[in-house]
Structure 1
Amino acid sequence: MRTDKHIPFNWPNMTGKELHYIAEAHFNGRLAGDGPFTKRCHAWLEARTQCPKSLLTHSCTAALEMSALLLDIAPGDEVIMPSFTFVSTANAFVLRGAVPVFVDIRDDTLNLDERLIESAITARTKAIVVVHYAGVACEMDTIMAIAKRHGLKVVEDAAQGVMATYKGRALGTIGDLGTYSFHETKNVISGEGGALLVNDPKLVERAEIIREKGTDRSRFFRGQVDKYTWQEVGSSFLPGELVAAFLWAQFEEADSITQRRMASWETYHAMIEPFEAADRLRRPILADGCQHNGHLYYVLLSPQVDRHAVLEEFKRSEISSVFHYVPLHSSPAGLKYGRAHGNLNVTDAVSEHLIRLPLWVGLTEEMQQRVVNTLGKALALI
């Protein structure tokens, strides 16, 4: 609940047109997937990212599951990925019988450490899944070169990466497949929702089939076949048209949303600099050639700082500040279904010292000052 005193960690942003477009879809009698609003969203994504084909899904999780199906992931295959990520990154491949091989992250960007990937490759390795943490790109040139040398596919989990780029290219468009999230905690939202970016043209037709319950229904509606039939294993990965209508209102304002989040991100970055200078924490580090999107602002507390005490101070001040992922390699399911490659010391350290600060469109500078003052009090600096 949001009150005058309470500062939530996230507050969903509305552009003002969402209900109008939902009403339009209702008036037109188009509520199932792949209606006019879905088509507008597809066209927008393809124009903005320059990917050959985009497909809305009901979540980023669904897009990842489609990726596993498209890459013919089978029992015993291995998929390299970071442990510092959301469970969906691993679940999508475990569902196909694959073994997630967890590799440590870099200590600067908190992304998959590309220097450790090659030593994790075995005869069973089928793909590399990268996660662009906080909308900051992984070192994709190196990763794509490794994949090419070893004949591997690359999936980009760009759940946090909408409107972010790597050397001018949209995140999600560099690997063979990319996935986006439009969950209400993301920058551009539809409550729940996601998208699959199909960057390999050879996978486009199969992606459409898998998304449509394993049928060639899309080809039927284009007049390419006289009836549609079951072609292969698939599922119902489409969102309804009401979700697409909501999302379209967000896409129309995506540039403004990104600019406003970036402004709040930069404000935090400036305000918190003295705490870094006092060696109480570390601010985010941005890699060269990476344009992030202001998705989240985190700090890494110094080892001598008690994270629990900091979070308790935020709680007393009615400010929602939270930690992030519990590493998958040390979770019950991770121990059961996956394996760690080497030590994951950076992952473990980051998971124990990272906290995220409130960041959403509409967060005022006065609110941010209160957040920073509370952080400073917890760090005993002010």
Structure 2
Amino acid sequence: MIPFNKPYIIGNELSYITDAVQCGKISGNGKYTKLCQEFFENAYGFKKCLLTTSCTDALEMAAILLNIVPGDEIIMPAFTFVSTANAFILRGAKIVFVDSKDSNPNIDETKIEALITEKTKAIVVVHYAGIPCNMDYIMNIANTNNLYVIEDAAQAIDSFYNGKALGGIGHMGTYSFHETKNIQCGEGGMLMINDEKFKERAEIIWEKGTNRAAFFRGEIDKYGWVDIGSSFLPSELNAAFLFAQLENLEKIQSKRKQIWNAYYVGLQLLEENGHLQFFNLEEHVSNGHMFYMVCKNLEERKQLIQHLKQHNVHAVFHYQSLHLSNYFADEHDGRTLGNVEKYSNQLVRLPLYYDLTIEEVEKIIKDINAFYEV
């Protein structure tokens, strides 16, 4: 069976973990945490980066930093992972879901402004599959209405919008280093601070509500409890694994993009003949995170996934519509979000990981073309 995903070791992951242990500190905010944060600040120009145990934690930090209180409204896409919504619901916010675009699963920016009320506090965007949302349009709405923008860039490492790294455009951004992501450490994430006013408090929240980080830098003579916070720091073991991957970012991205492009070329005839929908390659450059296709209906998707399984290929679907979920359905305002439901019912993802061979990709392409008798 060709799996959907497979974690990998590419360089010094194990030796760096050993080094972290030998350095005598494997709790958070040590040598490798700092190296990872500096890598992103230097490579992408983020003002401040804080490594977290997950992208979920990074989103929860963002909600705390925005001082979200019960009654605040947060606008976000309904086609996303539950963490995007949970981070704000935990602070008492009301979530207002938006439909996806017809051309890709990202938030339909043209439908945001009509949902803004006097209680709206922020817009959260999700760059699905590393495809950038229309950030100029969204930032203009936010600036006009005095709103914050959080970029959930969990899938968008090394992806850009008009030359700027995704996660670095809104007031804050988040990354994921889950084992399904391009750069991984099992579980991990990062909060990117792009607005200077959040920098100092973010570090305090990150350090359980204390000013301990400033103490360790010698800036104060003792540290104490100064704000709310939680244990958001990852272990140095995770950070050590992650840094070894970051050292090989270019190599990893090159291989993933090679796989993505092979899929695109090999399956292009299916799109041209109207069997499947891809996203428009002319408008965006893939960061090699995910190759997805949109079938004509739910039954066709079921049959395609079963067909691939019979040929030893593990393909999967993705998010279920959050506005129709058991938890949220009674809270939704009743609007039909047709494109979200389309992607929930018709989108299928193909295997894509560093160790996937081009021969295996060609087999998968052949199996899919056979299903459609092309």
TM-score (normalizing by structure 2): 0.97
Distance 1:340 1:351, change over 3 A: farther
Alignment of 1:191-202 (within 5 A): 191-202=186-197
Whether the 8 Å contact between 2:318 and 2:344 is mirrored in structure 1 is yes
Offset at 1:291?
3.7
Name which of 257, 263, 272 aligns with 2:267: 272
Offset at 1:304?
8.8
Whether the 8 Å contact between 2:297 and 2:345 is mirrored in structure 1 is no
Rounded Cα–Cα distance in structure 2 between residues aligned with 1:75 and 1:102: 17
Offset at 1:378?
2.3
Q: Do structure 1's residue 319 and structure 2's residue 342 form an aligned pair?
A: no
Alignment of 1:204-353 (within 5 A): 204-286=199-281, 288=283, 290-303=284-297, 306-336=300-330, 338-340=331-333, 342-353=335-346
Q: Please report the RMSD computed on the Cα atoms of aligned residues, expressed in angstroms.
A: 1.3
Whether the 8 Å contact between 2:54 and 2:190 is mirrored in structure 1 is yes
Number of the residue aligned with 1:356: 349
Output the amino acid matched with 1:357.
L
Rounded Cα–Cα distance in structure 2 between residues aligned with 1:153 and 1:52: 17
Output the amino acid matched with 1:310.
L
Whether the 8 Å contact between 1:103 and 1:340 is mirrored in structure 2 is no
Rounded Cα–Cα distance in structure 2 between residues aligned with 1:197 and 1:173: 7
Number of the residue aligned with 2:97: 102
Secondary structure of 1:63's match? helix
Distance 1:374 1:368, change over 3 A: same
Alignment of 1:364-375 (within 5 A): 364-375=357-368
Whether the 8 Å contact between 2:215 and 2:222 is mirrored in structure 1 is yes
Rounded Cα–Cα distance in structure 2 between residues aligned with 1:64 and 1:333: 20
Name which of 119, 129, 133 aligns with 1:134: 129
Rounded Cα–Cα distance in structure 1 between residues aligned with 2:195 and 2:304: 46
Whether the 8 Å contact between 2:298 and 2:346 is mirrored in structure 1 is no
Number of the residue aligned with 1:3: none
Per-residue CA distance 1:106-162 (angstroms, 9 max, x = gap) = 111221111000001011110000000000100000000000010100000000011
Secondary structure of 2:335's match? coil
Offset at 1:16?
2.8
Distance 1:67 1:287, change over 3 A: farther
Instruction: Identify unmatched segments of 5+ residues in structure 1.
Output: 1-5
Per-residue CA distance 1:39-89 (angstroms, 9 max, x = gap) = 111110101110110000000000000000000011111100000000000
Secondary structure of 2:124's match? strand
Number of the residue aligned with 1:161: 156
Rounded Cα–Cα distance in structure 2 between residues aligned with 1:99 and 1:116: 18
Rounded Cα–Cα distance in structure 1 between residues aligned with 2:338 and 2:43: 38
Secondary structure of 2:74's match? strand
Distance 1:341 1:74, change over 3 A: farther
Rounded Cα–Cα distance in structure 1 between residues aligned with 2:279 and 2:227: 44
Whether the 8 Å contact between 1:135 and 1:160 is mirrored in structure 2 is yes
Identity %: 48
Per-residue CA distance 1:266-320 (angstroms, 9 max, x = gap) = 00000001111222111222473x4431100001112496111111111111110
Output the amino acid matched with 1:97.
G
Rounded Cα–Cα distance in structure 1 between residues aligned with 2:285 and 2:227: 39
Rounded Cα–Cα distance in structure 2 between residues aligned with 1:297 and 1:257: 16
Whether the 8 Å contact between 1:165 and 1:292 is mirrored in structure 2 is no
Output the amino acid matched with 1:321.
A
